[in-house]
Structure 1
Amino acid sequence: MDIIKRLALIISCLTFLSACGTTTASPTAASPTVQATLAASTLVVGANRLPIGLVVDGTPINEPGAKVLLRFFYLDGTDAEKSKVAGESAATYFGQGLPVAVYVTYPNFPRAGAWGVEVEATLPNQAPSISRLRLEVLASDPTPALGSPAIDVETPTAKTNPDLSTLTSDLQPNPALYQQSVDEALKSGKPTAILFATPGFCKTATCGPSVNVISGLQKTYGERMNFIHVEVYQYPFGESAMANPPRLAPAMGAWRLQSEPWLFLVGADGLIQYKYEGGITVEELTPVVEDMLKRS
C-alpha cells in the first residue's frame, strides 16, 4: 500500500498543474538547483516583454552561457488546453552591465487568465533543470499600453532646477537627461525615451545600471532622439522613499506606475512603441532605437 501511495505522489508531482504557482527544479545529482523567477509585475493580453531570472542554490545569477527555453500552457482553458503546449520560445540573455541577468522572450498572449510557463534552463556543462511558474495575464494594461498616446506631463528640468541633486539620486548624472520636460519632448517631433528610475533607492538594484544605459544611448543618438530620466520619488528622495506610504513623483502617478524601473520608447507621433519593466541593456535596446529612428 505504501508503494502505491508513493507512486501516486510521484505522478502527482510530475503533473504540470500541481506545480503551477510554485517554482520547482529537477536537476541531476551533479547539477546545482536552478529555479526560475518572474522579473515582471504586469503581463497583459497581446504583446509582452517577459523577463525571467535564474536563481542557483538561492543566489540570482548572471550567466551568459545559460540556455533558457519557455513553454506556455493556458490553465483557464479546457482539460486539453491545460496540458497542450500553446507556445514555445527561447529566451535571450540580457545581463551585460546588470548585477543579475534576465533572459527575455516576447510572448503574445491571446487570452486573459491563468497561464503556466515551463522554464527549461541549462547551465554550461550541466543537465537541464525544469521550473514551473504561474502567470496572471490581465485583460487590460494598468500601465500605459503599447500603441497608446504617451501621457503628457510636466517633469522637473535643469532649466528651473539647476542643482541636479534635486532632480536625480544618481551621484554622477548626465545633465543631458534633465534638459527637457516630458511634455516638451512629446511636442518636439522626435522619438523619446522616458526612463522612470531611482538609482539611489532602487528596490531591484537595476535602476542605476538602467540610467547608465540611457545615458550611453543619449551620447550616441541624442541629436536625433530625446532621452529623459524621471526620478521615482519626490525630493528629498531619501525621505520620500522611506515615507509610509512612499511619496512618488507626480509623473509616476500620472503614468500609473507602482514599480521601478520602467522605460517607455515613444515614437515621433507620440505613441508608445516599446516598454520595458526592470533592468535594460544596451544590447537589447540598440537595435530597437535604430529601427525607431529609421522609421521616424
Structure 2
Amino acid sequence: MAPEPQRRRIAGGVAEPRVGPRAEPRRLSRRSFLAGSAGLAVLAACGKTGESRQEGTVSLEPLREGQRELVANFEFRGGYLVAGTEQRLTFALVTSDGARATDVPDELTFHVRDESDQPVGEPVRVAAHRDGVPYPYFPLRTTFATPGLYQITADIDGGTRRQAVQVDTADQVPLPQAGHQMVPVDTPTPSDHRGVEPYCTHEPPCPLHEPTLTEALAAAEPTVLLVATPRFCTSTACGPVLNLLLEEVGSRSGVQFLHAEVWADAAATGDLATATLAPVVDAYGLVFEPCLFVADRSGVIVERLDNVFDRQELRQALDRLTG
C-alpha cells in the first residue's frame, strides 16, 4: 500500500525473514498497517545488483541486473491467511531497483511447499492481470489444509523466488471469509456523514453512498461493498478499482453498490498515523486497502477481492451473483 514498493517495518525495524520451523506469526495493528506499511510487500530489500537480500524472502539466487523479484501484495506475516478455505494471494514483480515491473510474463507457475519444504498439491499456473489497474499482478488461489508456515515459489528470469507465508486458524483472523455473513454498519451517506469527513474522497464524490450498509443488507438484495480511500490510499489501487466498480453500476440490475472510506478524520489530522479509522474498518477487521466484498441477497459473502483487482476479476466476482 505505497506509491512505490518499500521495506515493510515493524516496531521501528525492517521485518526479519521468517523461514525457520515453528516461526511465530508477527502481527500488525490495523492502524500501523493501514497508516504506514506497504500493501505491496517487497520480499527482497532490492539493494544493489548482486547483493543477497533478506527481507521476508529467501530467493535462491541474488537478483542480477535485468532480473525481476516477486513481491507479495498481502500480509504474509500472519493474521490474514486462513487454513481450510480457498485463499487469494496476489503477487506482483519489481525490478532490481525496486520499481514495479510493468513488463511481466503472461503467466507464472507457482509452487506451494510446506514447512518441511515438501510440495503441497500441484503447481498452479496463474495468468497476469492488468486490465484497468496501475500495475500487473498474479492472483494465486489455493487452499492450505492446515495452519502453519508455507513457502510460495516461482521461477522468474532464470532464478527461483521464494516467499514464506503464515497461515492461521479461522479464529485468529477477524477478516470475514467467503461463506460468512456481512456485518451491518451504518456507513456515511451524503446527508449524514456520521463523523467521517470527507465521506467520499473520490473526485467528485461517487454516488455509491446510499443507502447505508445496514439498510442495504436489510433490503435482501445482492450487495457489493468497496472499502477504499482514493485520496489517502497508501497504494496506487484505491482510485482505479473504485472507477472500475463505477463502470459496473448501470449494468447490474438489482445489485446494490456501496463505497465506504477508510479514515474518519484524515483530512483534519493530516497524519494517517494519528487519524481515526472509520467504523467499517474495525467492523470488518481490515488491515489493508482496498477490499471488495460481494454478498448474495441473504448477506452471505460469495467473493472477497483484496488489495488489487482488475476489470476481469471484478466482473467474474459480480457474475457470481447471477450465476
Whether TM exceeds 0.5 here: the answer is yes
Q: Is the 8 A contact 1:20 1:132 kept in 2?
A: no
Q: Partner of 2:280 in structure 1?
A: 251
Q: 2:141 aligns with which of 101, 106, 130?
A: 106
Q: CA RMSD in A?
A: 2.6
Q: Partner of 1:234 in structure 2?
A: 264
TM-superposed CA distance for 1:265, in Å, is 0.6
Q: 1:205 aligns with which of 217, 236, 241?
A: 236
Q: Partner of 2:189 in structure 1?
A: 157
TM-superposed CA distance for 1:34, in Å, is 1.3
% identity of equivalent residues: 22
How many residues of Structure 1 are paired with residues of Structure 2 in the alignment? Answer: 263
Q: Partner of 2:87 in structure 1?
A: 48
Judged with a 3 Å threshold, the aligned counterparts in structure 2 of structure 1 residues 151 and 59 are, in CA distance, closer, same or farther, namely same
Judged with a 3 Å threshold, the aligned counterparts in structure 2 of structure 1 residues 200 and 25 are, in CA distance, closer, same or farther, namely farther
Find the structure with the greater CA-based Rg: 1
- Find the aligned partners of 2:197 and 2:127 in 1 and give their Cα distance: 36
Matches within 5 A, 1:117-156: 117-121=152-156, 127-140=157-170, 141-156=173-188
TM-superposed CA distance for 1:86, in Å, is 3.5
Judged with a 3 Å threshold, the aligned counterparts in structure 2 of structure 1 residues 254 and 240 are, in CA distance, closer, same or farther, namely farther
User: Does 1:92 pair with 2:127?
Assistant: yes
The one-letter code sitting in structure 2 at the alignment partner of 1:264 is F
Q: Is the 8 A contact 1:27 1:34 kept in 2?
A: no
Structure 2 gap ranges (5+): 1-18, 22-53
**Secondary structure, counterpart of 1:227 in structure 2:** strand
Structure 1 gap ranges (5+): 1-15, 122-126
Q: Is the 8 A contact 2:200 2:206 kept in 1?
A: no
- Find the aligned partners of 2:270 and 2:86 in 1 and give their Cα distance: 32
Judged with a 3 Å threshold, the aligned counterparts in structure 2 of structure 1 residues 87 and 111 are, in CA distance, closer, same or farther, namely farther
Q: Partner of 2:102 in structure 1?
A: 62
**Secondary structure, counterpart of 1:210 in structure 2:** helix
Cα deviation code 1:132-186 (max 9, x no counterpart): 000101111321122111001111112435xx983111113332x1121101111
Q: Partner of 1:5 in structure 2?
A: none
Larger proportion of strand: 1
Cα deviation code 1:68-90 (max 9, x no counterpart): 11000111xxx4xx233443201
User: Does 1:269 pair with 2:298?
Assistant: yes
- Find the aligned partners of 1:64 and 1:271 in 2 and give their Cα distance: 36
Q: Partner of 1:215 in structure 2?
A: 246
Larger proportion of helix: 1
TM-superposed CA distance for 1:92, in Å, is 2.3
User: Does 1:178 pair with 2:209?
Assistant: yes
- Find the aligned partners of 2:73 and 2:267 in 1 and give their Cα distance: 25
Runs of 4+ residues over 4 Å off in structure 1: 16-21, 25-29
**Secondary structure, counterpart of 2:287 in structure 1:** coil
- Find the aligned partners of 2:244 and 2:269 in 1 and give their Cα distance: 25
Tell me the TM-score normalized by structure 1.
0.81
Judged with a 3 Å threshold, the aligned counterparts in structure 2 of structure 1 residues 113 and 157 are, in CA distance, closer, same or farther, namely same
**Secondary structure, counterpart of 1:208 in structure 2:** helix
- Find the aligned partners of 2:270 and 2:279 in 1 and give their Cα distance: 14
Judged with a 3 Å threshold, the aligned counterparts in structure 2 of structure 1 residues 85 and 17 are, in CA distance, closer, same or farther, namely farther
Q: Partner of 2:70 in structure 1?
A: 36
Tell me the TM-score normalized by structure 2.
0.74
